[in-house]
Homo-oligomer: A and B are copies of this chain.
């Protein structure tokens, strides 16, 4: 594919090049060769533009830069890069259509057209799987699960009984959908397990990261609304409701029965109470991102603050005067 064809496909504007060079791949600014397209979305990497060996760099129309490197000017460089990646690296289906010979699919299941089920899978009773869905090897789907169309389920995933995946859901390897919620009633000598009889609903276009876990609801449903993306090693407890187009980064957890509006949750965050839409959260317990960053900045000064307060106390003789210290 020639550079000028890519420019046309992106409806971008090419400068510093006639566009005749053949493009074979995509790469980061500092790893690109002269047959690669690269991109600049984060201005922190702007200084890499002039040393990049890329055949052309996708940049924002608004970028002001003095360079003789070929640039493709577009409205949204990150999105444009995604489109080029799709074009140059068409995703092939790594699982053959049909049901692999070593997989076991219950007779009562309803498998749609053009479904691919890889080797060593187990599909339980009354499961329905929509058209074009691809299930990689060693996936387990228990009874009464409903999976929509055009889903991709990577290896070693477990989907427990009664859970629902709508359309175009992607499950990265090893994630668990519908494990028991963590509910135990204290009784004499220990705990009694609370049966977890609900399920999990993943709406359209949800993506779940590798080894992430989503607990089924005690009753009713744990719900993740359409367009929401969860990173790896995220823990969603029972009865949680997560709004549309929410993004939760890795190693974050959401406590039971929490409702999350359409938000962004940064990594390593512990969400322990409801969050508001349109906000970014970070920390354990989760705080608004800006507030948490202010706290983190102040924390760096904390050891010195302890010393300062001691000096001030000494100066104002609080240690000897203040009544509260005498208690």
A104 adjacent to B89 (CB under 8 Å)? no
CB A53 to nearest CB in B, in angstroms, measures 14
A301 interfacial by beta-carbon distance below 8 Å? yes
Which of A2-10, A11-19, A57-65, A138-146 sits within the interface? A138-146
Q: Which of B253, B309, B324 contacts A250 (CB 8 A)?
A: B253
A99 interfacial by beta-carbon distance below 8 Å? no
Bound Cα distance A272, B293 (Å): 13
Residue of B nearest to A221 (CB): B31
Bound Cα distance A253, B172 (Å): 17
Most buried by B among A81, A156, A291: A156
A130 interfacial by beta-carbon distance below 8 Å? no
Q: Which of B137, B154, B302, B324 contacts A302 (CB 8 A)?
A: B302
Interface residues of A in 252-277 (CB under 8 A from B): 252-253, 255, 267-268, 270, 272
Bound Cα distance A251, B215 (Å): 13
B316 adjacent to A306 (CB under 8 Å)? no
Residue of B nearest to A32 (CB): B219
A252 contacts across to B, CB distance below 8 A: 251
A318 contacts across to B, CB distance below 8 A: 308, 311-312, 315
Bound Cα distance A227, B186 (Å): 11
B192 adjacent to A245 (CB under 8 Å)? no
A308 contacts across to B, CB distance below 8 A: 309, 313, 318
A26 interfacial by beta-carbon distance below 8 Å? yes
CB A188 to nearest CB in B, in angstroms, measures 11
A222 interfacial by beta-carbon distance below 8 Å? no
A294 interfacial by beta-carbon distance below 8 Å? yes
The 0/1 profile, CB within 8 Å of B marked 1, for residues 127-149 of chain A is 00000000011101011000000
A280 interfacial by beta-carbon distance below 8 Å? no
Bound Cα distance A172, B295 (Å): 37
A172 contacts across to B, CB distance below 8 A: 176, 179-180
A326 interfacial by beta-carbon distance below 8 Å? no
Bound Cα distance A155, B177 (Å): 11
Interface positions of A (Cβ within 8 A of B)? 25-28, 31, 76, 78-79, 81-82, 85-86, 89, 91, 94, 100, 102, 104, 118-122, 124, 136-138, 140, 142-143, 154-158, 160-161, 170, 172-174, 176, 179-180, 182, 184-185, 187, 189-195, 197, 205, 207, 209-211, 213, 215, 218-220, 226-227, 229, 231-233, 235, 237, 239, 244-245, 247, 249-253, 255, 267-268, 270, 272, 283-285, 287, 291, 294-303, 305-309, 311-313, 315-316, 318, 321-322, 324
